[in-house]
Amino acid sequence: MAVLVVATGNPGKLKEMQAHLVGLDWELTLKPDQLEVEETGATFAENACLKASQVAQATGEWAIADDSGLEVMALDGAPGVFSARYGKTDAERIERLLNELGNELNRDARFVCVIAIARPDGTIALQAEGTCDGRVLHAPRGSGGFGYDPIFYVPEQQRTFAELSPDQKYAISHRGKAFEALLPQLRTL
């Protein structure tokens, strides 16, 4: 069984990735705590590749990384790659985004996720992207999920990400779609 280092220190993200990779011959492990990768890319793809490549080179193992965030059309794609850094807490990030949108009528948005897998030498072996289109509400709804989930409304579901069960969210989410695109490629490695 090959080792696949997850370029995160978050055990929750490791658990989520394990759920997506069930049935594949990979043993997932967290990156070493002391190994930090600065996200300096201008796109989600650049950041995912940067993290996967640097963790692979540092550990000498295969590595997987993702980068994701929310793009709001009326804000020219912001917060985008800065989604996690738009405030110190989820509540602050949501408040800032809602304040910036104000009474804007165009509330179209999308979540984007790019996943990259790097070989032990740091070269990128695979990359996949997934998106989920929706709208930003004027106020939070629902208690599930995390981040911007309470204000991200999916018209087809008539609910926010925070109102969906984890299984429902996985089936339509940007991360779920990215893994769906990645899995056939990953089986060939």
Domain 2-187 -> CATH class? alpha beta
Please state which of the ranges 16-30, 32-46, 47-61, 89-103 shows the lowest mean pLDDT: 16-30
Catalytic residue among 67, 76, 121, 133: 67
pLDDT digits (tens, 9 = 90+) for 46-87: 999 999 999 999 999 999 999 999 999 999 999 999 999 999
pLDDT digits (tens, 9 = 90+) for 90-125: 999 999 999 999 999 999 999 999 999 999 999 999
Query: What is the rounded radius of gyration, in angstroms, for the C-alpha atoms of the chain?
Result: 17
Whether 67 is catalytic: yes
- In the chain, where are the structural domains located? 2-187
